[in-house]
Amino acid sequence: MSYPGLESGPPQPERPRRPRRGPLTVALAALVPGALLGWVVYE
């Protein structure tokens, strides 16, 4: 329901090309700044 155009829309070419780098990059992009910010605040 959140993404009604995902099923009817065409498949994205980035998903099958690099299925590992996508989630990994997102996780790093979210964890690295959070860890740095937490470390700076803690110190």
pLDDT, tens digit, 9 for 90 and up, residues 2-35: 555 555 555 555 555 555 667 888 888 889 888 9
**Residue bearing tokens 């498949």:** 11
- Helices of type H across the chain: 4-8, 14-17, 21-42
- Residue 26 included in any domain: yes
Domain, as residue range, for 27 = 19-43
pLDDT of residue 10: 58
Q: What is the pTM of this model?
A: 0.38
pLDDT of residue 17: 58
Q: What 3-state class would DSSP assign to 7?
A: helix
- Residue 14 included in any domain: no
pLDDT of residue 26: 84
- Residue 34 included in any domain: yes
pLDDT of residue 23: 80
- Residue 6 included in any domain: no
